[in-house]
Chains A and B, each alone.
Chain A
Amino acid sequence: MKSAAEAHPLTLALPKGRLEQDVQAHLAARGITFSFENRKLVAYDPSGLLKIMLVKNADLPVYVHHGIAGLGICGDDVIYESGYEFFTLADLPFGSTKMCLAGAKTPDVQPREDSVMRVATKFTRFTRDYFHNQGVAVEMIKLNGSVELAPVLGLTPYIVDLVETGSTLKANNLEVLQVLQEISVRLIANPAYYKYHYRQVDAFVRLLNQEEGT
């Protein structure tokens, strides 16, 4: 007989966008299939193991933090930027990327060496903490997208952003000046949710970590 903690499916938030297909494929290879019908944002896998919620990537930590979803899959960048604390239960073998400092290959105006570093970024928390840990003062301006435009249009000389292939940077005559952090995709858990449902969650983590087809 199932215990009270095991009577309900685990709740898992998945990010819309670049990771969505990868996660679905990873789960399908381990026997967990599901689909979001008619633009619905909540789905169940037929085995009753998971209730899956499709949420905006940046909002995913909010849902897990408040326990609406007990588990979530997202990148280190999103987790860090949320400022919330989660249990990290597994690293997933896809979607890795790099958080980079980038700037113009040949800047019109060379920034003065003694001036405060000015950076445009979506990742203000990460940028502030990273440079402060390096002992570097930094001025930031928050942008919500197309961050590459900032140096091109002269808003700031530098950007901090995720870089996968670097093709967008190249197209805008920008280059990676420094890789600040490797970003991995993780399975995270609301700590209280994990504590209550640990047996069920541990079984799911073992499934996620299984080699394909085993």
Chain B
Amino acid sequence: MNTRNPGLLSLTAGSEGIVLQDGELHRFLVSKLDTLFHSWGYTPVHTPMADYADDYAETVGVSVPPYTYRFVDREGQILSLRSDITLFLVKQIHHLLKSAVLPLRMCYSDSIVRYQDAIDIGKNEFFQSGAELLGVSGRDGDLEILVLLARVLESLDLPNPVIHVGSRELFDQLWSDKNQHDKEEARKALSMREFRTLSKEDQQTARLFSFIGNTAEFRNYATSWSSHISKQAQVALDELIDRAATLESLVPVIEVRIDLSELGSQGYHSGIVFSAYLPGADSSIASGGRYDRLLKNLELEVPAIGFSLMTSKVASLLSPSTQLGDYHELANRENFEKRYHQAEALRAQGKKVRL
């Protein structure tokens, strides 16, 4: 079959445009987030679209994810396109952190590019908004980011969102005697709830990680584990209960669940980790956690925690009640100057007017 204008009609995989009403909805969402982030004292940052890929394994201690597009520049260096904003951000600002006045609160809304098969409607997200808090350790840092995420979900009037909170620290404590490879295999198995694939010895502990439920249910469940886990693990468990219970009390309209199979998607995660889910979403709509380890790789003792929100996924699931409001069309078809003045008067009343 001869195809006409194949280049014109082919849609690139791994990236997407957002146009017309979708574009308006997207900007509405981003501007809502910007307003919220701004009111919490978060300043916007923009990361570059491309960065040197080889540097990541060497300097950040994390390989560029496999779904990243890479290419060779004119000097023969391998560059990667931005596929994860947190990673790019940390690489960009780490040299500033040595002399920065902490804490730093940053927010972003930017596009990302991820590989996807040309014949698969991607589940990938191509736009992320998020917030990063650097320099606040422990309870205050954890709660600031968790509550900010809950407030984001609440302010967007999303239909019945839930936040699942887990503890990478608890996992690290309970698997502390394992080598890195076995630990990573166990993390993957627990995240995928493949409890049977673990060794018999690990299956005992894995039973703890099968739990999902509210804080009250978890308190009862966790009591029976107290005599089986180390002091450090107990501290992690208590911290998790505290964070979830406090989040529940501060933002009661958002359902909070303790879910120990939430272990963070990245190797650099530590401490509290979490994801948000919505009915009808094919994957989590937001995720994040503490990542002190990532900055340690850069020889920085700076605590860090943040989250990113899958903006396009969220836009497609906004409540039908999310009204963007109609444009005011001027009936007057007289000369431009008159229409302009009329429009300005209406705009001053908060109306959206097309000339």
A interface list, Cβ under 8 A from B: 4-5, 8, 65-67, 85, 87-88, 190-198
Contact B279 A196, beta carbon cutoff 8 Å: yes
Report the Cα distance A5→B159, complex, angstroms: 11
CB distance from A66 to the nearest CB of B (A): 5
Q: Are A195 and B164 in contact (CB under 8 A)?
A: yes
Known A65-B123, A195-B212, A198-B212: A85·B192 in contact at CB below 8 Å: yes
A10 to chain B, nearest CB (A): 12
CA distance A193 to B281 in the complex (A): 8
Q: List chain B positions with a Cβ less than 8 A from chain A.
A: 121, 123, 159-160, 162, 164, 192-194, 212, 259, 275, 277-284
Contact, CB under 8 Å: B282 / A192: yes
Q: What residues of B have a CB within 8 angstroms of the CB of A67 in the complex?
A: 280-283
Cβ A192 vs Cβ B283 within 8 A: yes
A192 touches B284 (CB 8 A): yes
Cβ–Cβ < 8 Å partners of B162 in chain A: 5, 195-196
In addition to A65-B282, A191-B283, A195-B277, 14 A-B residue pairs with Cβ atoms within 8 Å of each other are: A4-B160, A67-B280, A67-B281, A67-B282, A67-B283, A87-B192, A88-B194, A191-B192, A192-B282, A193-B282, A195-B162, A195-B212, A195-B275, A196-B278
The reply to whether A87 and B279 form a contact with Cβ atoms under 8 Å apart is no
Tell me the complex Cα distance, A198–B194, Å.
15
With a cutoff of 8 Å between Cβ atoms, the chain A residues found around residue B277 in the complex are: 192, 195-196
Q: A4-B160, A65-B123 are in contact. Are A192 and B281 (CB under 8 A)?
A: yes
Complex alpha-carbon distance, A141 and B194, angstroms: 32
State the majority secondary structure of interface residues on A.
helix
Which of A4, A65, A198 is within 8 Å of B279, CB to CB? A4
For A190, what are the chain B residues with a Cβ–Cβ distance below 8 Å? 282
A154 to B198 Cα, complex, angstroms = 43
Q: How many A-B residue pairs have CB under 8 A?
A: 45
6 A–B contact pairs at CB < 8 A?
Answer: A4-B279, A5-B160, A191-B283, A194-B193, A195-B164, A195-B277
Contact residues in A for B193 (Cβ distance below 8 Å):
87-88, 194
- Give Cα distance in the complex from A193 to B123, angstroms: 14
Closest 8 CB pairs of A and B: A67-B282, A4-B160, A196-B277, A192-B283, A87-B193, A198-B212, A195-B277, A66-B282
Chain B residue, CB-CB nearest to A66:
B282
A198–B212 alpha-carbon span in the complex (Å): 8
Of B162, B279, B280, most buried by chain A (CB within 10 Å of CB) is: B279
Instruction: Find chain B residues with CB under 8 A from A66 CB.
Output: 121, 123, 282
Q: Complex: how many Å from CA A88 to CA B194?
A: 7
Nearest opposing residue in chain B for A8, CB measure? B279
Residue of B nearest to A89 (CB): B193
Question: B192 contacts which chain A residues (CB < 8 A)?
Answer: 85, 87, 191
Give Cα distance in the complex from A2 to B328, angstroms.
43
| Chain A residues closer than 8 Å to B159, beta-carbon distance | 4
Residues of A close to B278: CB separation below 8 A: 196
Residues on the A chain within 8 Å of B283, using CB: 67, 191-192
Residue of A nearest to B278 (CB): A196
Query: How far does the alpha carbon of A114 sit from the alpha carbon of B157 in the complex, in Å?
Result: 65
| Distance (whole angstroms) from the CB of B207 to the closest CB of chain A | 14
Q: What distance in Å separates the Cβ of B157 from its nearest Cβ neighbour in chain A? A: 14
Per the bound structure, the CA–CA distance linking A193 and B282 in Å amounts to 7
User: Least Cβ distance of A41 to chain B in Å?
Assistant: 20
> Which residues of the other chain, B, contact A197 by a CB distance below 8 angstroms?
279
A198 partner residues in chain B, CB cutoff 8 A: 212
Which residues of A have CB within 8 Å of B279?
A: 4-5, 8, 196-197
For A88, the chain B residues whose CB sits under 8 A away are 193-194
CB distance from B1 to the nearest CB of A (A): 20
Complex Cα spacing A132 to B284, Å: 33
Contacts of B160 in A (CB 8 A): 4-5
Q: Taking CB as reference atom, which chain B residue is nearest A197?
A: B279
What is the CA–CA distance of A16 and B306 in the complex, to the nearest angstrom?
A: 45
Contact B259 A195, beta carbon cutoff 8 Å: yes
Bound: A87/B192 CA distance, A: 6
A213 to B279 alpha-carbon distance, docked (Å)? 33
In angstroms, Cα B212 to Cα A87, docked, is 14
How far, in Å, is B283 (CB) from chain A's closest CB? Answer: 5
Q: How far is the CA of A142 from the CA of B164 in the complex (A)?
A: 42
A85 (CB) vs chain B CBs: closest residue? B192
Q: How far is the CA of A66 from the CA of B193 in the complex (A)?
A: 19
A85 to B188, CA, bound (A): 11
User: What's the least CB distance linking A9 to chain B, in Å?
Assistant: 12
Measured CB to CB, the nearest residue on chain B to A83 is: B117
- Measured CA separation A190–B284 after assembly (Å): 11
The CA of A135 and the CA of B298, in the complex, are separated in Å by 37
Q: Which residue of B lies closest to A194 (CB)?
A: B193
| Residue in B closest to A190 when the chains form the complex, CB atoms | B282
Docked Cα-Cα span, A191 to B212, in Å, equals: 13
